[in-house]
Chain A
Amino acid sequence: MNAPRDPKLLYERYGRQLLVDGADFSGQQALHGLAAVFAADTSEVGQAAAQVCAHYLVGAGLGRAVAPSAWAARLQDLDPQLILSDNPRLAEPPVAQFWFAQRPYGASVDVALTDAAQAPSATDLDTPTAHTTAWTQGATGPARVATLRLVLGQPATADAAVVLGALAADLVAADVLKLAALPALVAVDWSDPDHPHIEKTERGPQQSSGGAAAAAPSLLAELKRDPQVLQVAWSESCARYPQEACGLVLRDAAGLLSVVAAPNVQDRYHALDPQAYPRTARTAYKLNERLIAKAAEQGQHLVAIWHSHCDAGAYFSAEDVRCAAPNDQPLYPEVAYLVVSVIGGAVAGAQMYHWDPVCRGFAPEMQPN
């Protein structure tokens, strides 16, 4: 175990990383205490991915690394404090071991993370290859084992190495920094260009088989199931054109969705104070927020706010962002926003947006293909 790093240096070097939600100094020190062994099959992608992974983990604050002497010195260039070796036997726990390999479907990496308290015997740390064999045989060792698959539909070439290596580094860094526990299996599926997705199987007492869904179910798709429901928003948007229309999407206790139109009171505010409200209903909307409380009294729960854009796309505009999340703080983080594009008086499209707390922005909803 390395001596802890100087906190001032930690802050100067890893400040941007320490700002990430959930990261802290203790996680950063834990990464400094970790050793990692980077190994790969003889494929170009495997060799390159091991290098990439090593660079990103050392960059993130890894304390000790075991890597082939052909490129290990570059890691020391990146972090002069790094303790370097080319002998896997010297990697005492806590240790992360990586094995990168080209596969018929793309490429993969096996990761074994051995915590300090559960040190394997010296014979277990023979060579990374021997260790890999033990994992694939399903040995129930002290290590937590994970597999990351990059599915491309064909054997991966060298240019896939950066994605694979960086994602492998992310798995281990996120675990040690206590941002996300090491999952059992991650399949990053890039084989269908229309539907890239990630399937994750968490480890734990009840290992789910299907893996976590890549995204929440689409609210817009649910609304579209009953054409009558959205018709309210469509006809109101057309009727109000060339002014913006607005309203609420509500869910009742039985789970049924309904769409209601609300008067656009923007012009009233504009007339009262044109300086504070420079826009008219032509390019802005505002609704009486008391409607939410009134709906709640009827057992109707607000799930989305909808409005139309006249002769403009169904994008979430800068004004929409400014009003929905002033100073980057969402006013209704749990509520979605539906934007309806009306061009020349007819509905041209619609898009649903959700607040993404990770990216701190509004993300369009993924539609089922």
Chain B
Amino acid sequence: MPVQRRRTCAAVATWRRVGLNVPSALALEQLPIAIVGCGGLGVPAAWTLVLAGCRRLTLVDDDCIELSNLHRQVLYPHAAIGLSKAQQLATALQARFGPLDIHCRQLRVTAETVSPALNGCAAVVECTDDAASKFIVNDWLVADRGRTGTMAAAIGRGGQWFTVSRHTSCYRCLFQQPPDPQILATCSVAGVLGPVVGAVGSWAARSLLAALQGQPDAAHGALVRFSPRGLLRTAVVRAADCICADASYRDGPDAPNPPH
């Protein structure tokens, strides 16, 4: 039986250095986590976080539910078509898991809105189908050092996720800038299978939780891809010319933890 290796990774050391205990389920209850994009990936990510014991969520999405979303965004009732995704996800989670501390922000993350939208959050799961948004969140994580985030994407019968913290390479080490939207296939042209997005969104959230709890995780500083061919992990080395290579970010003090 393979046994999970318990390595003391850099994140644990950091938590200890700043005088925090390694977060347990109890600490997860207090940890404010944002989900950017409450669609096919955001729904399973939120579901996973709450099952893991998270109680404080910020849900960011400016979109409304459409009939064609329901095959993969399975926490939304048919009757909620036309209503706000962020609000409806909050309602669905409260109905299933009792009172939770949820803030809804009905907006799209841009370079201007990212800071106020994610203000006070200790960690982020980026779940939109917009490549530019992943770079905006990545840059916020790097600029607001000490935050941890996971970027998720899915299309067709596959998907990928990547977890960024101060101790690893960042999304820009892997992709220098957002791809040209014209050459990027989106779910609206390439299609997407509901259960696959579910697995990818949940995996992304689990990766974030592992990184927050100081456990070794496959996607921490690495791109993990899931497709019918299997799982593919590619470790990403910090690029020397990347924004995250700045010494004050890499080796400097952590940002203060958001107030509990």
Contact = CB atoms under 8 A, between A and B. Distances in A.
Q: CB–CB under 8 A between A and B in the complex?
A: yes
Interface of A: 12-21, 23, 48, 52, 55-61, 74, 77-80, 104-105, 151-154, 157-163, 165-167, 169-170, 173-174, 179-180, 188-198, 200, 212-216, 311-313, 315, 317-318, 321-322, 325-328, 343, 348-349, 351, 356, 358-361, 363-367
B178 to A, nearest CB: 8
Q: Could you tell me the dominant secondary structure of chain A's interface residues?
A: mixed
A358 B228 contact: yes
B144 interface: no
B77 A78 contact: yes
Interface stretch (B64-72, B104-112, B117-125): B64-72
A198 B75 CA distance: 28
Contact of A366 (B72, B175, B232): B232
B251 interface: no
Interface of B is mostly: mixed
Contacts of B194: 17, 56, 59-60, 169, 173
A144 B199 CA distance: 23
B19 interface: no
Contacts of A55: 74-75
A278 B237 CA distance: 30
Contacts of A173: 193-195
B217 interface: yes
Given A60-B71, A313-B241, A356-B158, A16 B187 contact: yes
B206 A159 contact: yes
A194 B232 contact: no
Contact of A21 (B49, B156, B198, B235): B156
Contacts of A356: 158, 225, 227
5 contacts: A13-B70, A20-B193, A159-B209, A173-B193, A361-B185
Interface residues of B, number: 83
Nearest to A172: B195
Interface string B66-91: 01101111111111000000000000
Contacts of B220: 193
B2 A191 contact: yes
Contacts of B232: 214-215, 363, 366
A16 B51 contact: no
Interface in B208-260: 209, 215-218, 220, 223-225, 227-235, 237, 239-242
Residue of A12, A14, A216 contacting most chain B CB atoms (<10 Å): A14
Contact of B185 (A61, A212, A360): A360
A13 B68 contact: yes
A189 B183 contact: no
B164 to A, nearest CB: 15
Contacts, number: 249
A359 B52 contact: no
Nearest to B237: A349
Given A180-B228, A214-B230, A315 B158 contact: no
A163 B206 contact: yes
A179 B183 CA distance: 25
Contacts of A21: 156-157, 191
Given A169-B195, A169-B198, A214-B229, 8 more contacts: A19-B189, A20-B193, A60-B193, A157-B52, A163-B202, A318-B175, A318-B176, A318-B177
A47 B75 CA distance: 17
Given A189-B2, A359-B156, A17 B230 contact: no
Contact of B71 (A59, A198, A214, A328): A59
Contacts of A58: 74
Contacts of B184: 328
A20 B156 contact: yes
B188 interface: yes
Contact of B44 (A17, A79, A166, A321): A166
A170 B195 contact: yes
Nearest to B48: A162
Smallest CB-CB A-B distances: 3 pairs: A19-B191, A214-B230, A166-B198
Given A78-B77, A105-B1, A313-B242, A20 B191 contact: yes
B190 interface: yes
A331 to B, nearest CB: 13
Contacts of A19: 189-192
B26 interface: no
A59 B155 contact: no
Name which of A23, A191, A361, A365 has the most chain B CB atoms within 10 A of its CB: A361
A158 B52 CA distance: 6
A348 B220 CA distance: 22
B227 A166 contact: no
Given A55-B74, A318-B177, A359 B191 contact: no
A62 to B, nearest CB: 11
Name, among B158, B202, B217, the residue most crowded by chain A CB atoms within 10 Å (CB to CB).
Answer: B202
A107 B182 CA distance: 42
Contacts of A160: 206
Most B Cβ at <10 Å: residue of A343, A356, A359: A359
A214 B230 CA distance: 4
Given A19-B189, A170-B195, A193 B216 contact: yes
Contact of A170 (B160, B199, B225): B199
